[in-house]
Amino acid sequence: MYDSSDPRSTLATAAKSTAASELAGAEYGRFYQAPPQEANAQGKTWYLRGQNFLMAYSEAKAGAVFSRTRQADEYVVLLPDAKSSAELKTPDGLSKLPGYSITIVPPGDSELTISAGGPVVRFFTTQSRDLAEKCANANSYAKPHPNVAPLQPWPDPPEGFRVRTYNLDVPEQPGRFGRIFRCTTFMINFFDPKHGPRDITKLSPHSHDDFEQGSLVLEGDFIHDIRWPWTTNLNAWREDEHEHCGAPSLVVIPPPAIHTSRATGRGINQLVDIFCPPRMDFSERPGWVLNDQDYPMPQAVKV
């Protein structure tokens, strides 16, 4: 359910819903009050996962190095602070990563060196089992959560796998929803920062049939309102949640829970949504995905 001013109100999926017999809870990581999974010379790193993806949030020191060897698939590096910077070394050479950018890293070996310290966010699929085991909520996924479709990567980029970096300084555009980038494994929506609390008369309660949504708070304060549908089994019913999450934090919202997030901070509020694999409904909207020429949709449904 969307307000008529919300670009998502025109999606074909906006009125769609599916009954579920089993329900999973939401996963919360409030990194500002929880101990990191890693604390060393690189800085501090927190790990949290969903069914198909995981996130590593680091308060990285200058000179920190994050390496991957024989990485199975593409992963994403987000440098949300304009003052930060990094270098990425792959077998193809060295790439400069400026602050306030998002970078798609190809499979294989890579070495990320932080030139100027600050927040560094990396997104991986749970095929990176060594990282999945580090997640604070790893035990929650000892048994796969219900209702989440298996990960099916999208088509390889026509020009091949390589480092691709995109500047996040993209002006707002009427009718476009945020700043969306995708690759074979992820869709990341880096929302335009908003000042002050959200208008509570224009919320967007909605649900997803078969995929989780990760919502990362980078700045400010949010309340995540989540409601689970009733099933025929009263034992499966869950209480509504209205969870406050400051920055930095991540919530993983399960399908088919009804949810909306409302900014409550008086200053800047910054949210990033994470989907793994990319969403088809967003991809079908002309102009919504800013790097759609680099990563095609599956051929069978390409519009």
**pLDDT at residue number 294:** 97
**Residue found by looking up tokens 């509570």 in the block:** 200
Q: Coil, strand, or helix at residue 112? A: strand
24 lies in some domain: yes
Q: How high is the mean pLDDT in each 10-residue block of the chain (303 residues)?
A: 71 60 94 98 97 98 98 98 97 98 98 97 98 98 95 96 98 95 98 96 96 98 97 94 98 98 98 98 97 90 50
Give the angle subtended at the CA of 269 by the CAs of 257 and 276, to the nearest 5°: 40
* Residues 213 and 274: beta-carbon distance below 8 Å: yes
Q: What is the pLDDT of residue 3?
A: 63
**In-domain check, residue 138:** no
Beta-carbon neighbour count of residue 171 at 10 Å?
7
What pLDDT shows up at residue 105?
Answer: 98
- Distance between CA atoms of residues 5 and 66, nearest Å: 42
Residue type, 260: T
Q: What is the pLDDT of residue 25?
A: 97
In a domain, 303, yes or no: no
Alpha carbon distance 124, 96 (integer Å)? 21
Residue 1 has a pLDDT of: 55
Tell me, what's the pLDDT at 204?
Answer: 96
Considering its fold, how many domains does the chain have in total?
1
Give the domain extent around 121: 7-128+145-297
Non-local (6+) Cβ contacts of 148 within 8 A are: 50, 51, 52, 210, 211, 212, 254, 255
Establish if 95 belongs to a structural domain: yes
302 found inside a domain = no
48 falls within a domain? yes
**pLDDT value at position 11?**
78
- Of 191, 45, 39, nearest to 120 by C-alpha is 45
Q: Is residue 1 part of a domain?
A: no
Evaluate whether 192 touches 178 at the Cβ level (below 8 Å): yes
* CATH number, position 249: 2.60.120.10
Q: Please tell me the predicted confidence (pLDDT) of residue 240.
A: 98
- Triad 78, 48, 190: Cα angle to 5°: 30
Q: Is the distance from CB of 102 to CB of 180 less than 8 angstroms?
A: no
Residue 64 lies in a domain: yes
